[in-house]
Structure 1
Amino acid sequence: MHSDHAHHHQEAAERPLLQALLLTGSFMIIEFVGGLWSGSLALIADAGHMLTDTAALALAWAGARLARRPADHLRSYGYHRVQVLAALVNGLGFLLLVVWIGIEAWRRLQQPVEILGGPMLAVAVIGLLVNLVALRLLHGGHEHDLNRRAAVLHVLGDLLGSVAAIAAAGVILLTGWTPIDPLLSVFVTLLIAANAVRVVRQSAHILLEGTPPDIDIDLIRETLVEALPSVTGIHHVHVWSLSPTRQLMTLHVTVSDLGDYERTLTGIHRTLAEHFGIEHATVQIETGTCAAPHAAPPSTTKPPPG
């Protein structure tokens, strides 16, 4: 039952990505044709931007789809990390796009190009509507889905780009001052760059098996020692994320009496789940010296009785 529920949840999570992919890819073709028809280099360049975003959405959708594949002998944890890898690639891709736009903006400031404000305004307005629909499709549930957050980042960049293009087209139509186009493009990409850096850092942290930011290992040690009378010490505590929403843990627990083994083990798992949201933990129970003492980090222990 739980497996079926998770499967349907994952399918529901990938469907908006596919819908946004088809929507963005279709408009990319329209924008490119519109740029050729109007002779607007700005629209052709923005179509190239949307091509990058279409590829990013395709990568995010493929990552979400692959994550549904079950575990096998070669990948005992399954394919959950594919989504994190896709988010990392998307974040890096957006940072490269920021650099490219900066270079292109500098070139256009040095050598302004002719831009037809009317066609640019019409296509930019359509682009804004398309991006609003795509953002609405991706909005729900992206807070804890790093892969979808990276996709939202790209769509948000397109949406702000459309707003900037509308503003630039208005200025060009009213004044004929074309440098407004590259200046607004740089402003928009700088707004998004900070979020791109955050996605890259979070993805890299997960791939490097970093401790989840909301997990306090010292607090875990103290809570287990205080909650369970038979527990005298905690060491070799390792916590990492399989995905942004699933934490894994291993730890060694020193107990005073093995006679209460089952109750202690059950209490450890219950405490970890209720207090820290960790539902998958591997616990090694010990009564004496740790089998791997040289690798043990500082531990929390209870003072001896009396």
Structure 2
Amino acid sequence: MAEHAGAPKTATAFYRRRLALVLLVTLSVAGVQVVGSVLSGSLSLLADAAHMLTDSAGVAIALGASFLATLPATAARTFGYLRVEVLAALINGLILCVVSIVVLVEALRRLGQPVEVNPGIMLIAAVIGAVANLISLLMLQRGQRESLNVRGAYLEVLGDLLGSIAVIAAALIIWVTGLMWVDQAASILIALLILPRALSLLRDVVEVLLEATPRGIDTEQIRTHLAAIPGVIEVHDLHAWTITSGVLALSAHVTVRDDIWNDRDVHAVLDEAKACLREHFHVDHSTLQLEPSGHRRAGPQSHR
């Protein structure tokens, strides 16, 4: 049996160590916030702790997916497990949606029943959480632009940071005014901060799963570039999609002049087309079918 080449290095793989550090920090701070919530009686702090525990699971999923994505391709899975990272981002987005809805419902249920809280303990636990989240956010700042999987973890940490800031503000207000309902209001704010980011992540994941043209890729511009290669008549059946974050793919039929085909100069055309896609559009994985001008037949199965 022939040996399969290793899977391409995904964008997430470059940030695996940082994901592991973020996981450790998130778990530690979640523990601190759970203890702080029990001691202070704060619902908003408990909501933030629950969010951080959920995020820990999300980061763990992202980390595990980054390892699975490096497994080599096989005859049954020609792209290997690269899409596992996208599925992990999908799970993270769904978890974020569920957590935000649960927190919102619970906060609304308790809004008319304010509970006595200790703002001092609440403030200390929230500040510890904010500092830890800020450190984690900085570690993932660059990677979230390159990987959907890392972006899922980044958005979760960002939601944690905003949640911690909301808890800090609530603790200070309670300390100064004694208004206990502010704790429930902060819980509602945390839920409303989480939900839009979760929906944004899910939208991006759905685009990948529907094999939509990747953002930043202009298929008409690609068509124009390829058609400008000497000997090329037209480009049709052009498709571009994302396999996983950082791994783009493209396929197209390229019609060349008959004299180019007969003189076997198609190799030079193919090399130039591949180089064009790689240098101008950063597409390394392309499948181009070159064909003579007399090959194409118009019909109902013809695609642009």
CA distance in 1, matches of 2:96, 2:10: 30
Work out the CA distance in 2 between the residues paired with 1:205 and 1:183.
34
* 1:141-163 per-position Cα deviation (integer Å, ceiling 9, x unaligned): 32111111110111111111111
Residue 180 of structure 1 is matched in structure 2 by 182
1:263 aligns with 2:268: yes
What is the rounded CA distance, in whole Å, between the counterparts of 1:293 and 1:28 in structure 2? Answer: 61
**In 2: Cα distance, 1:160 partner to 1:213 partner:** 28
Structure with more contact order per residue of length (Cα contacts < 8 Å, sep ≥ 6): 2
The aligned residue for residue 303 of structure 1 is none
Change in 2 beyond 3 A, CA 1:165/1:190: same
Taking the aligned partners of 1:216 and 1:169, their CA distance within structure 2 comes to 50
1:226-265 paired onto structure 2 within 5 Å: 227-257=228-258, 258=261, 259=263, 260-265=265-270
Q: 3-state DSSP class of the match of 1:294?
A: coil
Distance apart, 1:45 and its partner CA: 3.1
Q: Indicate which of 54, 66, 69 corresponds to 1:52.
A: 54
CA 1:36–1:10: 2 relative to 1, 3 Å = closer
1:157–1:189 CA contact under 8 A, matched in 2? no
How much does 1:279 deviate?
A: 1.6
Partner AA of 1:89 in structure 2: I
- 1:152-184 Cα offsets, whole Å, 9 max, x none, are 111111111111111101111111112222323
Distance 1:291 1:245, change over 3 A: farther
- C-alpha distance in 1 between matches for 2:128 and 2:12: 31
Say which of 268, 282, 286 aligns to 1:277: 282
Greater shift after overlay, 286-295 or 111-120? 286-295
1:65 deviates by 1.8
- The answer on whether the counterparts of 2:12 and 2:245 sit within 8 Å (CA) in structure 1 is no
Corresponding residue of 1:119: 121
AA aligned to 1:290 is R
Distance 2:79 2:42 in 1: 50
Counterparts of residues 201-212 of structure 1 (less than 5 Å): 201-212=203-214
TM-score by length of 2: 0.89
Say whether the 8 Å CA contact 1:171–1:180 is kept in structure 2.
yes
Please tell me whether the aligned partners of residues 53 and 154 of structure 1 are also in contact (alpha carbons under 8 angstroms): yes
Distance 1:187 1:57 in 2: 23
What's the offset of the Cα at 1:10?
5.7
Q: Are 2:10 and 2:247, in contact at CA under 8 Å, matched by a contact in 1?
A: no
The 3 A distance-change label for structure 1 pair 184 and 42 is closer
Residues 1-51 of structure 1 show CA distances to partners (whole Å, capped at 9, x for unaligned) of: xx99x7698654111111111111122222222322344444333322221
In structure 2, the partner of 1:302 is none
- Which of these residues, 31, 34, 37, is aligned with residue 33 of structure 2? 31
Q: Distance in 1 between matches of 2:198 and 2:43?
A: 26
- How many Å separate the matches in 1 of 2:271 and 2:299? 25
Q: Name the aligned partner's letter for residue 229 of structure 1.
A: P
Inter-partner Cα distance in structure 1 for 2:128 and 2:214: 41
8 Å CA contact 1:42–1:115 kept in 2: the answer is no
Query: CA 1:264 to 1:87, structure 2 compared with 1: closer, same or farther past 3 Å?
Result: same
In structure 2, C-alpha distance between the alignment counterparts of 1:43 and 1:9, rounded to whole Å: 34
Letter in 2 for 1:251: A
> Deviations 1:52-84 (Å, cap 9, x if unpaired)?
111111111111121222222222112221111
Structure 2: distance between partners of 1:41 and 1:10: 35
When residues 111 and 182 of structure 1 are mapped into structure 2, their CA distance, relative to the original with a 3 A threshold, is same
CA distance in 2: counterparts of 1:153 and 1:276, whole angstroms:
28
CA distance in 1, matches of 2:268, 2:203: 40
2-structure distance, mates of 1:42, 1:273: 50
Equivalenced residue count is 295
Q: TM-score, normalised by structure 1?
A: 0.88
Pairwise CA distance, 1:210: 1.3
CA RMSD of superposed structures (Å): 2.3
- Residue type at the aligned position of 2:236: H
Q: 1:292 to 1:112 in 2, by over 3 A?
A: farther
1:295 equivalent in structure 2: 301
Name structure 2 gaps, 5 residues minimum: none
Identity of aligned residues (%): 42
